[in-house]
Structure 1
Amino acid sequence: MVTSAETPSRQGSGKDVDKHHVSPSDIAVGVVIGRTSEFFDFFVFAIASVIVFPQRLFPFVDPLQGTLLSFGLVLLAFVARPVGTAIFMRFDRRHGRVAKLTLALFLLGTSTVAMGLVPSYAFLGEWAIIIMALLRIGQGLAIGGSWDGLASLLALSAPEKKRGFYAMVPQLGAPIGLIVAAMLFSYLVSNLSQGDFLDWGWRYPFFVAFSVNVVALFARLRIIASPEFQEAFETRELQPSRIRDAFRSDWRAIWLASFVPLASFSMFHIVTVFPLSWVYLYTDETLTFFLNLTAVSAAFGLGSVVLSGYLSDWYGRRRVLLWGAAAIGAFSLLAPTLLQGGKTGESVYMIVGFLILGISFGQSSGAVASMFDSRNRYTDSAFASALAWLFGAGLAPLTALFLSTTLGLFAAGLYLLSGAIATAIALWIARQLEFQRQG
């Protein structure tokens, strides 16, 4: 199969072939580094929202309400993400992808490192909460602007029989970022007194996140700024289109695509932030134990993401996503019992949860990009992804903790089940629309 990026190369000299060849492995490196930095930032804030912010920012309420308020801060970034996508998409059209990515990652890095400098409520009062909220919004705007199209380029550049494998590559950043964040917090918690950790120790992961962002920025710019990748983006029509035009012609597809990964994005928080909050608030387990368990479980999830690529190439992406939604639905019914089963039940909950998450999450982004034609694929995919994260992941920790504490853990399971059902319906509708186009 000859792609549009390969055609000019084959028509030129041997030197031109080397110059214009776009290697999927090169794209994969940039994608993994970029996604790892973004998810590391995300998990640093998410973990701190459970074990730090309720005491530093919301000491005037009980621990449960403090955690719910902290999850409200978590949600702010997901609300701001579609807005950031719109702002930076326009910036992309006017000034180019390199300038957009530089500005977005600069905003992400400065917002993150500034979070580590915010004083406590005892020192600054309500202004401490307001400043943290503004910085969290800054993170969300930056994440929306950091969409670089590399994941879509990777999916389009991959060999036809390996598209499932390459589609899962961007998703590797989530478990890698979680492993690093969980282990870093575990080290600090186990080696510092509680007073020292809450006073200054918690700040270090935010400073580390800034360093990771700098490395990721240069790694991604090195790829995106190269002439061969600029040509690859152009030949595959991965260019920002006008937002108004994209929504006018594709608004139904954007909304539908935002529900396709809903199950995996909901599951994403149900096995990361939510169980940490439940165990921290309502069990006697040590924080170090559960952070280490989270890192180990994420390693299982990493392997499961890789497996999803092979399963997708063997059986098809839609079938793998349906299997994932069914498995998430079954897990939602067992999860309440497992999470109340002590160390053994918690371990099974986390490991099995991450194994299921990896299968579904590994193909979720590839499924979104594949639903759009080349005309508006870049813009449509960016907005569909931002909306999916808002509906699926942004609301999950707050909703799950609130439901489980007011109605019982079974209610959190039913919430997860609703996400699995929504994904199954969205996949069915997408299939019917595909049949209509083919007919």
Structure 2
Amino acid sequence: MEATAELERHGRESAAGHAKVTPGEIALAVVIGRTSEFFDFFVYGIASVLVFPALLFPDVDRLTATLYSFAIFSLAFVARPFGSLIFMTIGRVYGRGVKLTIALFLLGGSTASIAFLPGHVTIGVAAVWLLAAARIGQGLALAGAWDGLASLLSLNSPAGKRGWYAMMPQLGAPFGFLLAAGLFAYFTATLSEEDFLSWGWRYPFFVAFAVNVVALFARLRLVLSEAYSQLLSTRELEPVPVLELLWKEGRNVLIGAFAPLASFALFHLVTIFPLSWVTLFTDLPARHFLLIEMLGAVVGVIGIVASGVIADRIGRRTLLGVCAGLIAVFSVLTPFLLGGGLAGETAFILIGFGLLGLTFGQSSGALTSNFSSRYRYTGAALTADLAWLIGAGFAPLVALTVASKLDLAFVGVYLLSGALCSMASLAINRQLVMND
């Protein structure tokens, strides 16, 4: 807490000669913060396919072990809404600096602690419980890391550039994936399988803690400045009790949570799930497929940037609706691409990441403008928590289950359901806005 107080003092001193926070400064802090958060989650997601099944569930077949691993993967998304409740209370009582410091150290600490996780052969089923606890810690912390910067960036963007600035925070996802996938690709390519499962996989989790420390100081420098506080106050971006939010504007929370389901369902279906499918049911080495996914992430970056340009011309909600329709079409092609050998799998990754970039680039807070200013901060946080839980939290588990037990076609059905939910939510929202 002393470090936070010292940072706050320096932030206020620097603000004396720098009374204005520019959108560029906000964007930089957001991208750094989001990259660190997504890096943590992708390090875990990739390890849930390549490491944890063998480390924690050696007594069952690899498919069952991976399904167990994906069940633990989902715990972070279940924990996120509770994290918002806890950390918004901490923020109201002790301030934003304390809240953010605790959250990011919990996020980095939970991730780094996994690096020391013993295997099932050492401590038995206790290893599973330790991993579950760390995963819950990640989920709670990610909710606590919500700082309002994305909403502030959108609200302070220049006229006609809201879509452009809205896409900037989303760049953290492909950047985080590139870093995480690159590390795992390197270690799987340079180490024997025995060395990788013994110690090589642990290194990315150590890196995650260092990345979080850098992100913490980059964000605290802005969040603790007087200028930032004034902007939050001006925009009324302050937390309110969740029950009050649900009572006053619960309709907007529900509609907003379902609007990005197409994007969030696709999110893990082009990152975590296909890695599990390829390693379990094809002969393609994991390191080769990780390189294909990294190429896909580059396509995703291009898609996110393009979304900013397109959204400023046709509108963010229109873009989301068009993308939901394209994802619905893509869902029909999914079983043919994933079952089409290396060429089909590569096409699935590249097309999927391209669509993900276009829709994910504008999915964050697309409907948070529905909230009145008093409830926008808390509304945006809770809406995001629920959207990730419903759309992405169980996606790898559901997709691998239906693909392995039934058929790849059911993965397409799952993705189609997300696209239909998004289109319905956007249509309902439009109707309500017209009637209000």
CA offsets per residue over residues 344-388 of structure 1, 9 Å max, x none?
A: 111111000000111110000030432312011001110000000
Give the 3-state SS of the residue equivalent to 1:376 in structure 2: helix
Per the normalisation by structure 1, the TM-score is: 0.95
Q: Counterpart of 2:235? A: 236
Once residues 371 and 152 of structure 1 are traced to their aligned partners in structure 2, the CA distance between those partners, rounded to angstroms, is: 13
- CA distance in structure 2 between the aligned counterparts of 1:248 and 1:430, rounded to whole angstroms: 18
| 2:116 alignment counterpart | 117
Structure 1 residue matching 2:365: 3-state secondary structure: helix
1:290 is the counterpart of 2:309: no
Q: How does 1:54-93 map to 2 (within 5 A)?
A: 54-93=53-92
Are positions 1:200 and 2:182 aligned together? no
Residue 8 of structure 1 corresponds to none
Does structure 2 conserve the Cα–Cα contact (< 8 Å) formed by 1:155 and 1:366? no
Instruction: Specify the alignment match of 2:127 in structure 1.
Output: 128
Whether 1:213 and 2:212 are equivalent positions in the alignment is: yes
Cα distance, 1:68–1:161 mapped onto 2, change above 3 Å:
same
C-alpha distance in 2 between matches for 1:17 and 1:91: 27
Equivalent-residue separation in structure 2 for 1:370 and 1:22 (angstroms): 22
CA contact 1:166–1:309 (8 Å) conserved in 2:
yes
Check the 8 A contact 2:43/2:180 in 1, yes or no. Answer: yes
Q: TM-score, normalised by structure 2?
A: 0.96
Q: Return the alpha-carbon distance in structure 1 between the equivalents of residues 370 and 105 of structure 2.
A: 31
Residue 7 of structure 1 corresponds to which residue in structure 2? none
Matching residue of 1:303: 302
How far has the Cα of 1:159 moved from its partner?
A: 1.0
Does the 8 A contact of 2:15 with 2:227 survive in 1? Answer: no
In 1, Cα distance between equivalents of 2:127 and 2:333? 40
Quick check: 1:426 aligned with 2:425? Answer: yes
SS at match of 2:374: coil
CA RMSD of aligned residues (A): 1.2
Matched positions, count = 423
Identity of aligned residues (%): 52
- SS of 1:353's equivalent in the other structure is helix
Q: Which residue of 2 aligns with 1:383?
A: 382
Give the Cα–Cα distance (whole angstroms) in 2 for the partners of residues 339 and 228 of structure 1.
Answer: 50
1:182 maps to which residue?
181
3-state DSSP of counterpart to 1:161 = coil
What residue number does 1:9 align with? none
Q: Say which SS state the counterpart of residue 325 (structure 1) adopts.
A: helix
Residues 128-179 of structure 1: per-residue CA shift (max 9 Å, x gap): 0000101110111001111000000000000120000000111000000001
Q: Which amino acid aligns with 2:337?
A: L
Does residue 33 of the first structure (1) align with residue 29 of the second (2)? no
Matching residue of 1:51: 50
Question: Structure 1 pair 133/104, CA: closer, same or farther in 2 (3 Å)?
Answer: same
- Tell me which residue corresponds to 2:411: 412
For 2:17 and 2:333, how far apart are their aligned partners in 1? 54
1:273 aligns with 2:258: no
Q: C-alpha distance in 1, partners of 2:141/2:267?
A: 21
Tell me how far 1:335 sits from its aligned partner. Answer: 1.1
2:99 matched residue in structure 1: 100
8 Å CA contact 1:76, 1:133 repeated in 2: yes
SS state of the match for residue 272, structure 1? Answer: coil
Structure 1 residue 19 displacement after superposition: 3.1
1:332/1:417 contact within 8 Å kept? yes
CA deviations on 1:18-41 (whole Å, 9 max, x unpaired) are 632221000000000000000000
Q: CA deviation at 1:236?
A: 0.4
Q: Give per-residue Cα distances to partners, 1:248-300, cap 9 Å, x unaligned.
A: 11111111110011110000011010100000000000111101111111000
Aligned to 1:367: 366
Q: Report the residue type matching 1:38 in the other structure.
A: E
Distance 1:66 1:16, change over 3 A: closer
Question: For the Cα contact (< 8 Å) 1:368–1:385, is it kept in 2?
Answer: no
Letter in 2 for 1:112: T
Given the alignment of the two structures, is residue 346 of structure 1 paired with residue 345 of structure 2, yes or no?
Answer: yes
Deviations 1:56-105 (A, max 9, x none): 00111110010000001110000001100110011111111111000101
Is the contact between residue 164 and residue 308 of structure 1 (CA under 8 Å) also seen in structure 2? yes
Show the counterpart of 1:358: 357
Is the 2:184–2:204 Cα contact (8 Å) retained in structure 1?
yes
**Per-residue displacement from partner, 1:302-340 (whole Å, max 9, x unpaired)?**
010000000000111111001110111011110111111
The question of whether the paired residues in 1 share the 8 Å contact of 2:37 and 2:142 is answered with: yes
**Matched ranges for 1:163-182 at <5 A:** 163-182=162-181
- Matches of 1:241 and 1:101, distance apart in 2: 17
Structure 1 gap segments, 5+ residues each:
1-14
Q: In structure 1, how many angstroms separate the alpha carbons of the residues matched to 2:27 and 2:267?
A: 22
**Residues in 2 aligned to 1:366 and 1:378: alpha-carbon distance in whole angstroms:** 10
Contact 1:240–1:376 (CA under 8 A) maintained in structure 2: yes
* Inter-partner Cα distance in structure 2 for 1:408 and 1:180: 32
Q: Please list every run of 5 or more consecutive structure 2 residues that lacks an aligned counterpart in the other structure.
A: 1-13
Offset from partner CA, 1:186-245 (integer Å, 9 cap, x none):
000000000000000000000000000000000000010111011011100000112221
Does the 8 Å contact 1:28/1:154 carry over to 2? yes
Secondary structure, aligned partner of 1:424: helix
